[in-house]
Amino acid sequence: MSNLTTVTEFLLRGFSEVQELQILHFVVFLVIYLAALVGNLLIITAIALDRHPHTPMYFFLINLSILDIGAISVTVPKSMTNSLMNTRLISYPGCITQVFLFVGFTTTDFALLTVMAYDRYVAICQPLHYEMVMNRTAYIQMAAGAWISGTVYSALHTGNTFRLPFCQSNVINQFFCEIPQLLKLTCSDLYLSEVRFIAFGVFIAANCFVFIIVSYVQIFKAVLRMPSEEGQHKAFSTCLPHLSVVSLLLFTGLFEYLNPTSTSASNPELLMGVLYAVVPPVMKPIIYSMRNKEIKAALQKLIVWRIFTNN
């Protein structure tokens, strides 16, 4: 393959060449995918039907759940289909679509998590100004800004990657199309521009993470000064899940993108791809619903309502 126009398809890496293990992979991914769909749809439905938690934080949670459903739907179903059909193929347009949507969803996800850190900071450290600062117009504009910035970044990132000529191979050492693995297949020095683009993205992500950490340092200081233990517990219950999700998403993603390039197949790379592409959409509903009393109450109301209507 001497230039980009000759590439019509890529080969994704499978988890095993043994047919029985491929079926096992299909079953495991199916369970994970259904768990992510059910968990995130329950979060969306519970918040939408419950009148109490209509606050900026829960509006952001709905957006996060939509993003998680989108992100896992981009990668997992294709991998499941390939395992079931005993193939590794993904078309060139399909690979572009995967990269664009996955990068867009994950970038928007992290932008929203940064906005949520600011929301928690204002709510706990400046409670008297909260309704004025985080009014309906403000938090809708914040969410829209996160979606727009994620889409623009993804479009630039994807376009910059697929303008490169691929001539090393068409085998992607991952179960879905991702930019670090695609850069290993290029035969042009132009890939350095994409590396610089990734470095810029990492720099922005690191600054967002610093902003989140600084926000939570101020939040924890304010919480520890609260005279009421109940108030402290409520504040921690809304902040710790958010911090856990941020850490999971950032560190697994950075490990994958900053990992030294290697053309040989690597099981740790495959595992890390699962950790940052598959695990977060499943874990986020569990983390938020287990640690947040209002979400748990909304879910309980939803379940009771469904049982009552069915009966």
Confidence of residue 1 (pLDDT cuts 50, 70, 90): very low
4 contact partners, CB below 8 Å, separation of at least 6? 162, 163, 164, 165, 166
Write out the residue range of the structural domain in which residue 71 sits. Answer: 4-310
The phi and psi torsions of 134 (rounded to 5 degrees) equal -100, 55
Angle at which helix 136-162 crosses helix 92-125, to 10 degrees, equals: 150
Is 169 strand, coil or helix? coil
For residue 201, give the CATH number of its domain: 1.20.1070.10
CB 104 within 8 A of CB 154: yes
Rounded to two decimals, what is the model's pTM?
0.84
Most confident of 68-77, 114-123, 132-141, 166-175: 68-77
78 contact partners, CB below 8 Å, separation of at least 6? 12, 90, 94, 98, 176
Instruction: Express each pLDDT in 201-234 by its tens digit.
Output: 778 888 888 888 888 888 888 877 777 676 666 6
188 contact partners, CB below 8 Å, separation of at least 6? 164, 165
236 contact partners, CB below 8 Å, separation of at least 6? 223
Give the Cα separation of 74 and 61 in Å (integer): 20
Give the Cα separation of 298 and 48 in Å (integer): 9
Percent of the chain with pLDDT over 70: 77
Instruction: Express each pLDDT in 34-64 by its tens digit.
Output: 999 988 988 888 787 766 556 888 889 899 9
Q: What is the pLDDT of residue 27?
A: 92
Burial class (CB in 10 A: 0-12, 13-18, 19+), 273: buried
**Tokens 């600084």 map to which residue?**
214
Q: What is the pLDDT of residue 77?
A: 93
CB 285 within 8 A of CB 65: yes
Mean pLDDT (the chain, rounded): 80
- Please give the tally of structural domains in the chain: 1
